DNA sequence: CTGAAAGCGCTTACAG
DNA sequence: CTGAAAGCGCTTACAG
């Protein structure tokens, strides 16, 4: 493998001159530059990333910290990882995966070994143990998720409250005065799933403001149980003819539960939902909905992180991604 | 951040002695070792991974190359990525993500910049363009997937032929003489999805050997279309009362198609399937099946890759992971 | 505008 | 068993 010394020799210049044309720092005579570029091409030279990192104290890599529970069951994770890698590559950064059964250990080791210039933490929840190693250190990091106390760390997330507002408004404008709010199980709210809390609070507030009443159903985990529960609720006499859904498992099973109950959308039931974009694709969900915005969220996260790497001492930032309503004709107008 | 020089000073020894206790290469007097270890603890010292990499020419990181098409639609990808990262971490390696809309570009750059010691290529297909940058270079790599021509690169995959054998045998032993073989669309076989080919060929051979006849149905893409097609085939007069499935979309929709057709499993239809483990969990599939073995496949891939990094010149290896039959009472005995 | 020198934080022969 | 020195492949002041 050719080194910068080989290139310098081939071009008949000093190594520092090669370095100068490599990273465009200094002005180099066009003719000299040409000689260097020819030598680089001839020798098929590439900068050794590790050597550059040692000299600059910049690894040009970011670590993405996957929540250890997340690995279990998550069609969305890959989308975020690939999007992160693409976004980072666009800025000349690499992405290294930080996973660990033991949670904060992977973060601590990566930071200590100076393997990464910054961190992206996926799916941050309240009191997330992965924050421990970096809180107070000023190490550049950005959370995807929005815990109540950001502890001085930058954060990006979809604006779940605004999403709830869009969906409730959509039902209200269609004339619905009552809706079943199919939501996550209570444990999730208790465990600090802040997106769930933000959605639920906003949904209740907006519904109240709109004079709409909400029947809440906390859905369990597991496709079969969800399907059975939903079918039972749908069949109940006097059930509202609109559904507001914030629960991926429920959204996925809802078409089948509706089928089980012999109900058509939108003729018999209007449905709106907030769920992950991957879920919508995987199950071809036919509902008017607000979807997660992995590309936008990741784009902002990388942008914030790189800014933070460049300016570690600026005030922490929280950024909410504006949700969009995707219309799919699952809401009928009521008189 | 403390350096090895700080530790040496603190312990009153030479840097090389610190290095020796760090990587246990040389014998160090117990008392000296203790002084060094105390200094390390006191200064909270960690080796700078980049500096070590420069000195040893070993980055201790492996690149995982994600097929650019895969990002689109794949609940299984995250499982493989997390499993890879866990397995690599267990051997002291990091994992960096190599994605690129332009396919081989990411591989070429990572190798040229000496960012990685080796590569894991996920979901390799026939004539995979990601192989181009490394074929013939001897750069350590292992494919997950088993193209017809391995081009000198190590490969690991589930033994799809053996999986087909297990499933056909299971139906045959239960007395079935005919089955509908629900398979992938023709395009997939044409495009070089070698797992599909290996399964199909083995299924036909084994069925013939068992005196079982197979009605083949190539399933299209898209949940709704799959569901409709399956329901139609299931209702047909004289349709076989057993199904052999190798198509994830079809497996996912089959419970619903059976429901649409008013058929019960196993009373009306026996079903066996080979599909991804993630799919089985996500949809709670109730079929006796052979599932992908992400943990075993990834374990073997990492093992082969590390061996290859240590011995670049040994002959290429192909390893098949033995499939297991998971019984779920979806097959009834016929007389 | 160009080049010689020092340094980034390690490891590894090689003397002692 | 321990230590001084050279080197890994870069970048960056600093002279010229």
CATH number at residue B227: 3.40.50.2300
Q: Do A174 and A239 lie in a common domain?
A: yes
Q: What is the pLDDT of residue B102?
A: 67
CA distance A83 to B70: 12
Chain B CA closest to residue A102: B86
Residue from A65, A78, A81, A107 to probe the interface with B (highest B Cβ count within 10 Å):
A78
- Average pLDDT of every residue of chain B: 91
| Higher-confidence position of A16 and A299 | A299
**pLDDT value for B69:** 54
Tens-place pLDDT, residues B256-289: 899 889 999 999 999 999 999 888 887 888 999 9
Domain encompassing residue B27: 4-47
Quickly tell me which residue has 């929709």 as its tokens.
B253
> What DSSP element (H or E) covers A94?
strand A94-98
- For residue A335, being part of any structural domain is answered with no
- pLDDT at position B71 over 60: no
Beta strand A288-291 pairing with A325-326? antiparallel
> Which positions 205-244 of B are in contact with A (Cβ < 8 Å)?
222-224
User: In this complex, do A85 and B99 lie within 8 Å of one another by their Cβ atoms?
Assistant: yes
> What does DSSP say about strands B242-245 and B213-218: parallel, antiparallel, or unpaired?
unpaired
User: Are the beta carbons of B99 and A82 separated by less than 8 Å?
Assistant: yes
- The whole-number average pLDDT for the span B144-154 is 94
pLDDT tens for A264-309 read: 999 999 999 999 988 888 788 899 999 999 999 999 999 999 999 9
Q: How many domains does chain A have?
A: 3
Q: Residues A89-142: pLDDT tens digits?
A: 999 999 999 997 767 888 999 999 999 999 999 988 888 899 999 999 999 999
Residue in B65, B78, B123, B281 to test binding to A, most A beta-carbons within 10 Å: B78
> In the predicted model, is pLDDT for residue B70 greater than 60?
no
Same domain? B271 vs B171? yes
Does residue A51 carry a pLDDT above 70? Answer: yes
Residue among A49, A79, A278 whose CB faces B114 most closely: A49
Please identify among residues 14-43 of chain B the ones whose CB lies closer than 8 Å to any CB of chain A: none
Classified as helix, coil or strand, A320 is strand
* Mean pLDDT (whole number) for B146-172: 96
Q: Which residue is nearest to nucleotide D5 (CA to C1')?
A: B16
Residues B128 and B19 in one domain: no
Q: Is a pLDDT exceeding 50 seen at residue A71?
A: no
Q: Which of A74, A98, A101 faces B78 most closely, judged by CB atoms?
A: A74
Are A37 and A88 part of one and the same domain? Answer: no
Q: State the pLDDT at residue A102.
A: 67
Instruction: Check whether residue A49 has its CB closer than 7 Å to nucleic acid strand C.
Output: no
pLDDT of amino acid B30: 84
Quote the percentage of chain A above a pLDDT of 70.
97
Condensed to tens digits (0 to 9), the pLDDT of residues B12-57 reads 888 888 998 888 776 778 888 889 999 999 999 999 999 999 999 9
**Do B89 and A95 lie within an 8 Å CB cutoff?**
no
Q: Does the pLDDT of residue B228 top 70, yes or no?
A: yes
Q: Which nucleotide is nearest to B31 (CA to C1')?
A: D1
A83 and A232 part of one domain: no
Both A99 and A182 in one domain: the answer is no
Q: Which percentage of chain A shows pLDDT scores above 90? A: 70
A179 touches strand C (CB under 7 A): no
* Number of alpha carbons in the 13 Å side-chain half-sphere of residue A11: 29
Query: Do residue B82 and residue A71 have CB atoms under 8 angstroms apart?
Result: yes
CA of A31 to C1' of C3 (A): 17
Residues of A in contact with B69 (CB under 8 A): none
Q: Could you tell me what percent of chain B has a pLDDT over 90?
A: 70
Query: CB distance A99–B79 less than 8 Å?
Result: no
Judge if A183 and A267 occupy the same domain.
yes
Question: Could you say which of B254, B277, B292 is where a domain stops?
Answer: B292
Residues B87 and B209 in one domain: no
Q: What is the rounded distance in angstroms from the CA atom of residue B238 to the CA atom of residue A272?
A: 42
DSSP class of residue A131? G
Closest CA to A297 of A82, A63, A83, A67: A83
Structure tokens belonging to residue B148? 């017809």
Q: Looking at the complex, report in whole angstroms how far the Cα of residue A62 sits from the nearest Cα belonging to chain B.
A: 10
Q: How many CA atoms lie within 13 A of A113 on its CB side?
A: 20
Residues A65 and A127 grouped into a single domain: yes
A164 and A279 part of one domain = yes
Same domain for A166 and A282, yes or no, is yes
pLDDT at B307 over 90: yes
* B215 in the same domain as B114: no
CB contact under 8 A, A223 and B284: yes
Q: What CATH number is associated with residue B19?
A: 1.10.260.40
Residue B189: its pLDDT value, please?
87
pLDDT for residue A72 is more than 70: no
Contacts of B79 in chain A (CB under 8 A): 71
Give CA–CA dist A25/A274, Å, rounded.
Answer: 48
B227: which 2 tokens?
Answer: 């569901």
| pLDDT surpassing 50 at residue B162 | yes
Whether residue B205 is contained in a domain is answered as: yes
Which of B46, B85, B114 lies nearest to residue A99, judging by beta carbons?
Answer: B85
Query: CB less than 7 Å from strand D: which protein residues?
Result: A 1, 3-5, 15-16, 18-20, 22-23, 25, 45-48, 51-52, 54-56; B 12-17, 20, 26-29, 31-32, 51, 54-55, 57
In a domain, A326, yes or no: no
């Amino acid at each position: 493998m050719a080194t910068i010394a080989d290139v310098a020799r081939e071009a008949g210049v000093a190594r520092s001159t090669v370095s100068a044309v490599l990273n465009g720092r200094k002005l180099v005579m066009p003719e000299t530059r040409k000689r260097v570029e020819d030598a680089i091409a001839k020798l098929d030279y590439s900068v050794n990333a590790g050597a550059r990192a040692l000299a600059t104290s910049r690894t040009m890599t970011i670590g993405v910290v996957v929540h250890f529970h997340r690995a279990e069951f998550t069609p969305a994770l890959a989308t975020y990882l690939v999007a992160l890698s693409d976004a980072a590559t666009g800025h000349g950064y690499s992405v290294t995966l930080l996973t660990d059964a033991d949670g904060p250990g992977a973060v601590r080791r990566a930071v200590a070994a100076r393997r990464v210039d910054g961190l992206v933490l996926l799916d941050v929840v309240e009191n997330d143990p992965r924050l421990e190693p970096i809180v107070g250190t000023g190490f550049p990091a950005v959370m995807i998720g929005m815990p109540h106390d950001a502890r001085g760390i930058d954060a990006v997330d979809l604006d779940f409250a605004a999403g709830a507002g869009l969906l409730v408004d959509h039902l209200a404008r269609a004339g619905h005065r009552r809706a079943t709010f199919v939501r996550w199980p209570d444990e999730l709210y208790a465990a600090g799933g802040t997106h769930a809390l933000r959605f639920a609070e906003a949904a209740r507030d907006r519904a109240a403001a709109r004079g709409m009443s909400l029947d809440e159903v906390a859905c369990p985990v597991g496709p079969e149980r969800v399907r059975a529960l939903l079918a039972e609720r749908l069949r109940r006499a006097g059930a509202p003819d609109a559904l507001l859904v914030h629960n991926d498992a429920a959204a996925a099973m809802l078409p089948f539960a509706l089928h089980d109950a012999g109900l058509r959308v939108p003729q018999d039931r209007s449905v709106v939902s907030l769920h992950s974009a991957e879920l919508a694709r995987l199950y071809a969900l036919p509902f008017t909905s607000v979807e997660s915005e992995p590309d936008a969220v990741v784009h902002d996260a990388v942008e914030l992180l790189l800014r933070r790497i460049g300016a570690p001492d600026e005030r922490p930032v929280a950024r909410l991604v504006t949700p969009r309503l995707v219309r799919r004709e699952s809401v009928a107008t009521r008189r």
